[in-house]
Structure 1
């Protein structure tokens, strides 16, 4: 153990604790005050501090944290990874990274540093961000104009769809104009999460005009939510009467905008911060001169969700508030709850859930999550190694997880938007974690829907890896090819009601044109396809809304689907009514919102297809009918769902000779084969498939 003194400026010093592999619990308990969790910041934006009498370079963000966190009356001891781990020594990093879970688990407290308050007012949306949004709008307009031109040239129903789409898109967006709202310096404040906050909250309520101190009001908002108040009793969530009619008051809007700005700090987007806010027994959020318990933010958002989806659902505008917090905080708390309850957590689950986060070193997209894994399927945990290339790390991680779990689950993921920007040399079957990828609303499809399928009839995965990790070889059975793929996929999730309605109608028309089945049978298969043959449960089994929980669909659910169609004026989709009893364990009929949620989650980033075997399905939006021949659908042992592959021609396989090779497009839903039906005749008809 070595102790460093990094600052010689005013106030008392901070000591940084360097731990070696032999450090024990006593060292941590006696010497470690807190561990620091922060976003590293730009490598080019650095400043020197004094470390053991010598200059040492750190980021400005860390420098601001060390200055702010010093005690005035005594020495403080911290553990900070950027200084306490030699970042230039790959061997030391590998050893020290393995210790981080112990450090954060045993520390008395973790400080979550969101950043220093600005010296001068800053806009909530930077000029670069505004320009990117405007560029995206222009690109979207150009794409839609070209697409609608193609529709119009097609005549008939295609032209009618184009006209409907054009009308629904009118006024959909406006150019981003000037915004004079700024984030300014705020008052020092400690939020305790208990009765000591009452006086401060009273002061906030009596000072609504203090919009220049919007950060203070943002923290007051979270504290009021943590008190479990009804949403219409929280002034920050209410509409205010202003001259000229009812509108959201500046005071309320600015508090919420400041809350969003806090949640857009770099700390929230870094992958290392996941374990740093889950493992510690106690954490405190620090922003400049403000401190609040981490549990205050968690409790506040969970209370907000519960009220929003039940007693306070009718509060005006409530479903458009605090969206980033709703998406981020509950998932962090959920992982903590799973660990505390002893529920196994796989690396596959964590990679999928936190893939949207980033890291300065791309290897850390895997290594930062290892301390949270509790399910290694009987094998040993992966060991960090910074001497390996990023491609090696990602490939070996995939192979290790498939072989240990004997499952292909890790192959199932949302399609990558920028396929051309994949790491050079990375096979298509390997996750490219180097580019942060938001799930785009599809995450619960992989977490809650996929486990209900059993396309491989429970047979375990067996794989070979050839050509130094470039080729995945596995035995599979081709069960179908795409015959017709819908042109439309993006509009199902448009904010414009008519666009996604017309998409569903078009999909139903495609099914009617292509299939000879009876109307009742076709419509039954259609509604089950667009729901993924699953429905959302209505029983709340968690702190948040229950819509993400799933069970297999039954004939009973047809009536709920039909009611949803009636409400949304979609008679073309109505299937036969059912009078069956609800499935055991379900509390009652699904609400229209539950049906809508399942359809949207199931079809997100999907195309509707008819296969050559006359099956309905939903495939990744990059799948097509011809390229130059139809994409193919396979089932493989260890796979819960069929997989879409695209032939890339005959290639030489080292040690195997010439054979057709494929690229991986993703998993799919193919009606009628999701429960092992496609595995019939597997042993006699299987083939070795090579994925590159």
Structure 2
């Protein structure tokens, strides 16, 4: 797009001068459909504060550019930008705005970086921000009218109570008392038509852009336009809030085909409101002010960005600790930027970035080390949704407060261990020591690990046109019947523990479920699935309660049930294989899957006599692993690993004398220590999987 106007760049852009310089666009008066005339006006933030409006819109595809007159020259711009200028200009007087596609010389990488570094100040200093959702249609007219009529003050107050609650979490369990559009009892045809219109409206491209997070959050006065209709920001937020389900998968069946990307879009709006509440305490009656980059990056994968680096640069601008992070530069490859984020996080003891890391999140053949986050993805389909009570790796250090005793570190791989990767021309041409991060490993503290000996199939791996999850369940149950122990670690029956595992131990409201929940709801669900397999009646029946839990866990689609050597029941991502390990990292909110790695195995395997085989003994000796992705381990999500280690002084690979001491302290599950912990004696069978050590992630 920057090449469209290469022949007139000198007419449009002169070097910027002064303190915090930037350009504004004077949009001349005109009516809809008339030729658009405008002028670029160089200025500084100090001189322009409060005298312009900043815009937030979707760049859109580069096809079919439109022409305007700017500084007397014929300039090409994206169709979406053209539509916004046409819709926003006033009929009787000029309008002064800031629009990134025109006010920044996009062909000048250094200017682009400098202006992006200033963008948070540009939006903060604007008189108001104009959000442009695009031209109107029938759905937008219905949705905007509905949003304008909402009691937005009450709904914003309802939401504020959620983010001010202890824990400051926007997870499912905090949403249970919220107002929900689909609570309406009499869902008539008219109601359903309204629902479809709103959902269609909320899937406009603007909602998915990563830049909207700062653009809509940083200015007190933000107004949303769709054609000539407009509402205040709080009214748009209120519409998104009431459409946001109390838990994933909580929508009625009749709208499933219309959902598309709406859940991610709704979450994006909710995130913006969280930031606004922290920035404008007086406006929303809130007390928290800190915004850390790790919080802003938590949902980066959901958003779209033309340039992968903008996933960090745009969200960094929102953070109060942004000065401690990454210098904005479009000359640094995105891979290096992402690795820099991970390195800084590791050195501060913050492991949250791992949610976007691992081979489950990487493209096939990725040159990134497995521990590097990849924020480019557009969904969370390979992520396990956290629960506020989960902390398998113990308490997480407060953001902004590093925890040196458990901080990770990054080191160069030995020359003999270098990974064989094909570098792009951009990376080959990049100079600087940071390039070495591509051939480095992360040193992370681990407190539990155990080898996976069984993984269930996924639906797309089972042949047959009428296959249902019942076929996979039956195979799992046959395997469970062969286990040595028919009682799980926490004293639940094997059957109950299995059923709880495949729903991540959560009930239909997202709360921690107990065996009684599966005992009361399992049979109804199995019959419901069976009806569909036999005679296609499932769609005519109301889904049972267990189905919402199962859909939310995404087992059989993106995740598998797995069992480890010492009897842990797990949910692991679809890439997981027998021979991988489940593990617990200190300070991480989920369990993880690791794959033993050695230099001779390339990415993950080596061929011996024509057969693929893991060189596990070599990997064990070096403790090198590939990080595959997140996991849920039933009965180990509440810091049980560290508690048992502390109580019995567990060691990783203990000597014979150390092992004798551990067993004597445990007294086979009947000792005083287990009473202190409040754990069932069945946990004693996993003592040999525990012990603090460092693992090296490549």
Partner of 1:39: 58
Q: Supply the distance in 1 between the matched residues of 2:493 and 2:564 (Cα, whole angstroms).
A: 17
Q: Residue 222 of structure 1 contacts residue 301 of structure 1 at CA under 8 Å; is this kept in 2?
A: no
Partner of 1:429: 371
The alignment covers a number of residue pairs equal to: 527
Partner of 2:49: 28
Q: Supply the distance in 2 between the matched residues of 1:85 and 1:397 (Cα, whole angstroms).
A: 26
Partner of 1:263: 202
Partner of 2:669: none
Say whether 1:73 aligns with 2:98: no
- After TM superposition, list the pairs within 5 Å mapping 1:136-147 onto structure 2: none
Partner of 1:512: 481
Partner of 1:122: none
Q: Supply the distance in 2 between the matched residues of 1:364 and 1:399 (Cα, whole angstroms).
A: 18
Cα 1:224–1:61 shift into 2, 3 Å: same
Say whether 1:366 aligns with 2:312: yes
- After TM superposition, list the pairs within 5 Å mapping 1:631-670 onto structure 2: 631-651=580-600, 659=622, 661-670=624-633
Q: Supply the distance in 2 between the matched residues of 1:456 and 1:258 (Cα, whole angstroms).
A: 42
Q: Supply the distance in 2 between the matched residues of 1:305 and 1:652 (Cα, whole angstroms).
A: 46
Cα 1:373–1:259 shift into 2, 3 Å: same
Cα 1:42–1:329 shift into 2, 3 Å: same
Partner of 1:613: 566
Say whether 1:390 aligns with 2:334: yes
Counterpart among 236, 242, 246 of residue 297 in structure 1: 236
Cα 1:316–1:264 shift into 2, 3 Å: closer
Q: What displacement does 1:35 show?
A: 0.9
Q: Supply the distance in 1 between the matched residues of 2:209 and 2:131 (Cα, whole angstroms).
A: 12
SS of 2:380 mapped into structure 1: coil
Q: What displacement does 1:521 show?
A: 4.0
Cα 1:318–1:221 shift into 2, 3 Å: farther
Q: What displacement does 1:681 show?
A: 0.9
Give the alignment's Cα RMSD to 1 decimal. 4.4
Cα 1:567–1:233 shift into 2, 3 Å: closer
Runs of at least 5 residues in structure 2 that lack an aligned partner in the other structure: 1-20, 156-178, 279-285, 398-402, 414-435, 529-542, 603-618, 655-690
Counterpart among 123, 127, 132 of residue 113 in structure 1: 132
Q: What displacement does 1:599 show?
A: 7.6
SS of 1:68 mapped into structure 2: helix
Partner of 1:350: 296
Q: Residue 275 of structure 1 contacts residue 369 of structure 1 at CA under 8 Å; is this kept in 2?
A: yes
Partner of 1:522: 494
Q: Supply the distance in 1 between the matched residues of 2:251 and 2:505 (Cα, whole angstroms).
A: 31
Counterpart among 70, 80, 89 of residue 108 in structure 2: 89
SS of 2:451 mapped into structure 1: strand
Q: Supply the distance in 2 between the matched residues of 1:570 and 1:414 (Cα, whole angstroms).
A: 38
Q: Residue 214 of structure 1 contacts residue 254 of structure 1 at CA under 8 Å; is this kept in 2?
A: no
Runs of at least 5 residues in structure 1 that lack an aligned partner in the other structure: 118-185, 187-212, 240-247, 537-546, 572-590
Q: Supply the distance in 1 between the matched residues of 2:383 and 2:251 (Cα, whole angstroms).
A: 26
Q: Residue 28 of structure 2 contacts residue 37 of structure 2 at CA under 8 Å; is this kept in 1?
A: yes
Q: Supply the distance in 1 between the matched residues of 2:56 and 2:365 (Cα, whole angstroms).
A: 30
Q: What displacement does 1:79 show?
A: 0.9
Cα 1:448–1:353 shift into 2, 3 Å: farther
- After TM superposition, list the pairs within 5 Å mapping 1:419-458 onto structure 2: 419-421=362-364, 423=366, 425-434=367-376, 436-440=377-381, 442=383, 445-446=385-386, 448=388, 450-451=390-391, 454=394
Q: What displacement does 1:83 show?
A: 1.9
Q: Supply the distance in 2 between the matched residues of 1:570 and 1:315 (Cα, whole angstroms).
A: 20
Partner of 1:601: 553
Q: Supply the distance in 1 between the matched residues of 2:60 and 2:526 (Cα, whole angstroms).
A: 51
Q: Supply the distance in 1 between the matched residues of 2:371 and 2:233 (Cα, whole angstroms).
A: 38
Q: What displacement does 1:393 show?
A: 0.8
Tell me which moved more, 560-569 or 355-364.
560-569
Q: What displacement does 1:505 show?
A: 5.0
Q: What displacement does 1:396 show?
A: 0.7
